[in-house]
Every structure is written in C-alpha cells, then in structure tokens.
Amino acid sequence: MNSWDPFKDLLSIQERVNRLFENAVGSGEETTSGGTWSPAMDVCETETEYLVRAELPEVERSDIDIRIRGNTLTIEGERKLHRTVMEGYHRLERIYGRFRRSFLLPGSLDQDSITASLKDGILKIVLPKKGNTVDKEEEVTAQG
C-alpha cells in the first residue's frame, strides 16, 4: 500500500504551471504533432558549479543551441519527425518540434569553462562558478 504524499502532488502541479507559463512566453511556434514539447530538465548547484541535465531523446547535437547571457542559460533545439518513418504508425503520441527553455542562475559564472556533452539522450551542461563562491561577511560602517 502506497501512502499519499501531498508534497509530491504539489511539486507536480507546480511543474505543470511552470511549463504553462514557459509555453505561453515561448516562441509560439507550432510543433509537428500540434502540442508543445518542453523537455524535462534538472538544475542543481554544488559549491563550485551548476549542473544542468536535460532529457533530449532523438535530438541530434547539431539541433541543439546553448547560450549564456549574463546569468541566464537558454537551451533551444528541435526533435525532428522524419516523415519517412511515419508509415505503419497507428498512433503518434510523442511530441516533436522546437523547444526553448531558459533558467536564471544566481551568482557569477565562469563562462570560459562551461562544458556540454550529449550522451544517450541526456544533455549535460556544467557551469562553473566564477571566483570564490564562499559567502563573506564584511563589516560596514555607517557614515553620518
């Protein structure tokens, strides 16, 4: 018997609402299947870097564009539907087409050291933090 976890449901609802807003603000391009594809992504932070993992099955490396502007990471791409493979299909439920996801990352990034790799349908982006990331406490003297 599984116990009900209300927090899991809340996270699921929050994810759906976030995707709705992302889709509303996105490029507005229609996908091949009539839906909107927003690949699942994880963003985590360690003391030295941010790590982004994106599920991009059947997306070619040449169809992915990764950009950093300030602290905003934008990942754009396309999962193409090859019309030649459609023969014989009775159902086509997976969504194809263009996607765009953006994330605002707190703190400074070392843009010269960012790396990305695509393996087994998972895009992995490592974004090292710039300089010393340990919070410092500094005394400030009020003038006046």
C-alpha 125/C-alpha 118 separation (Å) is 9
Structural domains in the chain, CATH included, are: 6-128 (2.60.40.790)
pTM for this predicted structure: 0.65
pLDDT tens per residue across all 144 residues of the chain = 566 666 556 566 666 666 665 555 443 333 233 347 889 999 999 999 999 999 999 999 999 999 988 888 999 999 988 766 667 777 778 888 899 999 888 888 888 899 999 999 999 999 999 875 444 444 443 443
**SS3 state at 16:** helix
